[in-house]
Structure formats: structure tokens, C-alpha cells
Chains A and B, each alone.
Chain A
Amino acid sequence: MLVFNFWFFSGLAIISALLCITRRSPVVSAMWLVVTMFSIAALYIILGAQFIGAIQVLVYAGAIMVLFLFVIMLLNLGRDEPTDLPGWWGHAITFGIGTLLIVELWAVTRIVPAGEVRLPAGTMDRVMEQEGVVGAISSTLFRDFLVPFEITSVLLLAAVVGAVVLAKRRI
């Protein structure tokens, strides 16, 4: 059942990603991207990262996609325009580069982590059971990665200030 769910949501994610990059209207593309985000959140949960799955739905499918749709509506890009997809040569070049990339990445997936860095089987499940789903992440985040976490808050502040300055009427 788990394997069936994994392949179901993988197929959904790939098909909706394909539709996202080929639809003409930006609004339709954004809607297919939301489907992709939800499928990837389901994949996270199947792979044992329930907390990240919830964050994915909140941050990506919620906040970031609303921002995208908001900008599309603000700029009034929703109407049908002549397609911006290039001719057959553009498709051919993209297809070639994409195939090359897939082959390359597929070769990378053949590599298995070396035995000494790999945790014994079932370790993550045991840690999750002992500390809870959120506890396992938060103890690592606030103990080993505290400084990067604080730096992230500075980054977000800089992004907020930068966005306000850039989107002002007179730049």
C-alpha cells in the first residue's frame, strides 16, 4: 500500500509538473504547480517526514503560491496571450539537454551511501518514536544548527526590506 501510494503521488507530481511548464496561461500553470506541491508534501509524509510535509503545505502550497497568484493578478497576466513557447528547434534543444540531465542524475541515484555514514536500519523510526516527529528535528535544529537558524531570520528581514524597496512606485 505504501509503495502504491508512493508511485501514485510520484506520477501525479511528475505529470502536474509537466503540465505546469507547458500551459500557456500563467494562472493555469500556477494551479498545476499547487498540485505538484501537494503531491510532494504527500511524498514527504510517505518518506517519514510528517512535519516537513505539513510545512510544505503551509509555506509552498499556501504562502508562496498565493504570492505568485497575487502577482499574476496584479500585473493582469491571466488573459490568453500568444504562446511564448519556442518553435520545434527550441523543443529539440530543450529535450536534448533535459535527457542528458536525466541520464546524469539517474547515474547519481545509482550511488548508495557508504556503509559507515548510513545509520542502522530503523534508526530514524526509533528516534521519531522517542522524541516525537517534531522533537527529532527541533533538537537538531536548536542544538547543532542554532547559528544558521538565527542567520535565517536576518535573511528574511533583508528579503522583506528589499521587497518593499523594489516594489515601491518610484525606484
Chain B
Amino acid sequence: MDLLGSALAVSAIIFSLGVAGVLLRRNAIIVFMSIELMLNAVNLSFIALAQQLGPEGQVFVLFVMAVAAAEAVVGLAIIIAIYRHKQTVNLDKINLLSG
């Protein structure tokens, strides 16, 4: 039984929802959660392909998870630092570099 095509389709839909979340929301924390959604969708396609192409795909998922954990830690620290300065996490109000 072959679930590869269906799993890739589900992964594509979840990835698109993540992109929509990044574009739609202005709350920095929810934008961050959408990025985690995208990473998870990519992991899902790795796992689906690993079933037919060997265990290297599963090893890569481990690496992606490690990078995602590091990224979440640093990103949330940046959000805390920005909140201290601006008292907001609304991305439209964080426009220091837009002149």
C-alpha cells in the first residue's frame, strides 16, 4: 500500500497554511508558530520519502528538529528583547529599519 502521494499532498497543504499564516498575521508569536508549521510540513515529506528511499530521510528530520529548536530559542529571545523596547509584538509597529 502506497501512502507516498497522499502524504506529500498533506504536507503541501500544511506548508501552504504556514505560508498563509506568515502573510496574514501581524502578531510576531503567531508568525513564529506558522514557521514551525512549515518546518513540520517539510519533515512530513521527508518521512514519507524515507519509506522508499532509505533511512537518510529520517536522519535529516532529526537535524531539522535540532535546527528548529535552536531557531525557536533565538527567535523568542529576539521577540522578548523587542518587546522590552517597544512594548508590542505587532510587526506593523516594529518599523525601525523602514525609515
Interface residues of A (CB under 8 A from B): 2-3, 6-7, 10, 13-14, 17-18, 20-21, 26, 29-30, 33, 36-37, 40, 43-44, 46-49, 51-52, 55-56, 59-60, 63-64, 67-68, 71-72, 74-75, 77, 84-86, 90-91, 93-95, 97-98, 101-102, 105-106, 108-110, 112-113, 117-119, 123-124, 127, 136-137, 140-141, 144-145, 148, 152, 155-156, 158-160, 162-164, 166-167, 169, 171
Q: Would you call B14 and A163 a contact (CB within 8 A)? A: no
Looking at chain A's contact residues, the main secondary structure is helix
B79 at the interface (CB under 8 A from A): yes
Chain B contact patch, size range: 35 or more
Given contacts A60-B40, A68-B29, A163-B73, whether A141 and B3 have CB atoms under 8 Å apart is no
Given contacts A155-B67, A166-B77, A166-B78, whether A101 and B72 have CB atoms under 8 Å apart is no
